Structure 1
Amino acid sequence: MRTLGRIIGIGTIAAAALTLVGCGGDDQPAADPNRVCTADDIKVTGGFGENPKITIPDDCKPPTELITKDLVAGSGPGATAGQSLTMNYSLVTWSDKKKLDSSFDRGKPFPLTLGAGMVIQGWDEGLVGVQQGARRLLIVPPSLGYGSGGNGVKPNETLVFVTDAVKIG
C-alpha cells in the first residue's frame, strides 16, 4: 500500500509539473508600453536607389534623441559640415505611420549644404559622416525636426527618414 501511495503521489506531482509547463503560453514577455524604439525596430525594404518602404512598429514609443543607422554602407570620405550633398529621401511621420514626402516619388534628388541650416537640425547632425552610396536611417525627435509643426508636419512629430547619399561634395 505504501508503494502504491508513493507512486500515486509521484504521478500527481509529475502531472502538476507538466500542466504548469504546458500552461506557460508562448513564453513571450508581455509588451512593455514604455519601451523606446531603436533603429532595429524600424523595418525598411528596398536597396540603395530604390524607393524604400518604411514600417514603424506599434509596440514601442518614439525615441527622444536622434538615432542614425547606415542600412547600406557607402564608400569614400564621410560628409563634413560645409560640404554639398545630393540626397534622395523618404519621410514617414511617426504618429500616423504614413509617408509625408519623398524625393524618390518626384524622381529628383535634393541638394543641400551640410550644416548650413538649409534643412532641419536632425539632418544637419544626422548626415555628418555619411558616405556616397550609403543608405542611412534617421529617426528625428521633434526637438531636431519641426518642433511645434510646420511644412505639413504636426506639432511634436517624430520623423523617420530613409536617405540615400547620391553625391558627396
Structure 2
Amino acid sequence: MTTTIVPCLWFDTQAEEAARYYVGIFKNSKITAITYYPDEGNEIHGKKAGTVLTVAFELNGQPFTALNGGPQFQFSPAVSLQVMCEDQAEIDYYWEKLGVDGDPTAQRCGWVEDKFGFSWQVVPKLVPALLLDHNSAACRRVFAAIMEMDKIDIAELQRAYAG
C-alpha cells in the first residue's frame, strides 16, 4: 500500500494567491488542480458558488493542498515547514523570498513567517549533523550560536563548531 501524506494549509480566502506565491519561489513546482465551491452546502460553508475551495500544488515534488476554509483558524508557529538548504546562497534566497511582507518579529533561529502568517524554517542541511552529539562542547557552541541568530549563517555555525 502506498500512502501519500499531503499537508493541507487552511487559509481564509487566499489559498490560490498563496499557492501561486509558493510555486513562484520553489523551483520544480506547479499548481496541479483547483476546485471550486458548489451551491450545495452553502448553509454550512457560507461561500459563494464558484469561489476557490482548494488548490493542489507541488513544491519540489512534494504535494500540498491550500484550502479556503474561512477565518476560523489561523496559522501558528507550532506547525512549520523546513526548507533544508545546501549552502548560504540557498538560505539567503529562501529567507528573502519567504520573508517578504512577513512579521519580522517572528524571525528567530532560522524561522521566518511569510505574508500569510505561515512559518518556515530555513536551515542548512548540515545542522542535524552538527547537533548530533548533544554532550560535546562543539554541539553546545553550535546550539548557542543558532539561538542568537535570526537568519542562519553557515560560516558562523562552522566557526562555533570548530571552537
Q: TM-score interval w.r.t. the shorter chain? A: under 0.3
Give the TM-score of the pair, scaled to structure 1.
0.24
Greater share of helix residues, 1 or 2?
2
